Amino acid sequence: MGFFDRISEGLARSRDKFKEQMNVLLDRGPDLDDEFWDGLEETLILSDVGAPAASSIVENLRDQATRKALPDAYAVLDMLNEQIASTFTEGGEGVFGGDPALVLFVGINGTGKTTTVGKLAKEASDAGRNVILGSADTFRAAAIEQLEVWARRADVEVVERERGSDPASVCYATIERAEETGADLVLIDTAGRLHTSADLMRELEKVVNVVRKRSQLPVYTVLVIDATTGQNGLQQAREFNNALSLDGIVVTKLDGTAKGGIALAVSHELELPVLKIGVGEGMDDLKDFDAHDFARALIGDFDERGA
Ligand SMILES: Nc1nc2c(ncn2[C@@H]2O[C@H](COP(=O)(O)OP(=O)(O)OP(=O)(O)O)[C@@H](O)[C@H]2O)c(=O)[nH]1
């Protein structure tokens, strides 16, 4: 199944929610009056894209409707996909684009950090890159074992220490080992932590600072967000970004959620690119992000019979 089909299948619930709201709005007729524009903004907000993104999308579409003298709501909806796509923050090519990099994965518990590291390791190793993994999640014993399983599947080395070790020292050891082996992609899994826990966030800041100082490879910090948590994901992203100056996000569990719009809320509000998306638990379920395909999958197409 191609990228669009996978993401389209995954976002079916998000799309249904959007369409249901839109159809109620269109039932009153296709006039481009204030009620339509307010209703469109509200529908976007209910789709979890966040108020700032929703208002920017509606403002731009309103401008275009005036400039191009668009006849009705259907003409506006034809431009909605494009407008949503361009509201995502672009960039981040350096992180997984094939250049040498050290990437630290952070996020709250259970968002899919270890799984994402594993999937990426497999993809990069299959593409012929020299990959090494670091298990700085020294908090949860199962996380170390889980990463070992992925490392075996990907046929890459993983640097680890016993449970309870200092995560910064695991990072240090991983960087040393990467230098010895000439690895050009270093992926470090960190322990899940609540963004509201000041101590754990300080510990993570320390880990990131150690890595930034010590690594000769460019260092990127990537937040892994679980799409099913909706608006809470935005709050997590704000806190992690404040503490760590993130370089991008990976949005997981986009298979089967009605809250897929959260990817846009975070990308737009925090000016962070979406680097990858997770659409399942399997090895091949981590995909490159394409804003146009994502927008199409999120809201679908509209025609005059209703969508
Ligand atoms: N459906 C679905 N499940 C996913 C996806 N990504 C990860 N998971 C599942 O989410 C669960 C948690 O994933 P982990 O990778 O262990 O999460 P983590 O962030 O490393 O967890 P902690 O180490 O506890 O913070 C696992 O059961 C994964 O298989 C995804 O894209 N879709």
3-class secondary structure per residue, 5-73: HHHHHHCHHHHHHHHHHHHHHHCCCCCCCHHHHHHHHHHHHHCCCCHHHHHHHHHHHHHHHHHCCCCCH
In the reported structure, the alpha carbon of residue 115 is separated from the centroid of ligand 1 by a whole-number distance in angstroms of 6
Asked whether residue 190 is marked as a ligand-binding residue, the answer is yes
Residue range 62-94, pLDDT digits in tens: 999 999 999 999 999 999 999 999 999 999 999
Which residue among 228, 257, 281 is best mutated to probe the pocket of ligand 1, counting the most ligand atoms within 8 A of its Cβ? Answer: 281
- The whole-angstrom separation of Cα 274 and Cα 259 is 16
111 labeled binding residue: yes
Residue 210 has pLDDT above 60, yes or no: yes
Residues 6+ apart with CB under 8 A from 9: 1, 255
Confidence bin at 300 (pLDDT 50/70/90): confident
pLDDT of residue 209: 96
pLDDT for res 187: 98
- Reading the block at residue 40, the tokens are 């469109």
> Residue 305: its pLDDT value, please?
47
Q: Is the pLDDT of residue 13 over 60?
A: yes
Of 140 and 189, which is predicted with more confidence?
Answer: 189
List pocket residues of ligand 1, CB cut-off 6 Å. Answer: 107, 109-115, 137, 140, 143, 146, 192, 252-253, 255, 278-281, 285
Task: Judge whether 53 and 87 are in contact, CB under 8 Å.
Answer: yes
Lowest average pLDDT, out of 7-21, 112-126, 269-283, goes to: 7-21
Q: Is residue 107 over pLDDT 90?
A: yes
Cα of 111 vs centre of ligand 1, distance in Å, is 5
For residue 307, the model assigns a pLDDT of 44
Cα of 37 to ligand 1 centre, how many Å?
38
Residue written as token pair 């040498």: 100
> Mean pLDDT, to the nearest integer, of 267-296?
95
Pairing between strand 274-278 and 286-288? Answer: antiparallel
Structure confidence at residue 165 (pLDDT): 87
ipTM > 0.90 for the complex: yes
Give 224's strand partners.
250
What's the pLDDT at 306? 47
For residues 287 and 297, the answer to whether their CB atoms sit within 8 Å is no
Cβ distance 187 to 105 under 8 Å? yes
> Could you tell me the pLDDT band of residue 304, with boundaries at 50, 70 and 90?
low
| Six token digits for residue 5 | 């089909």
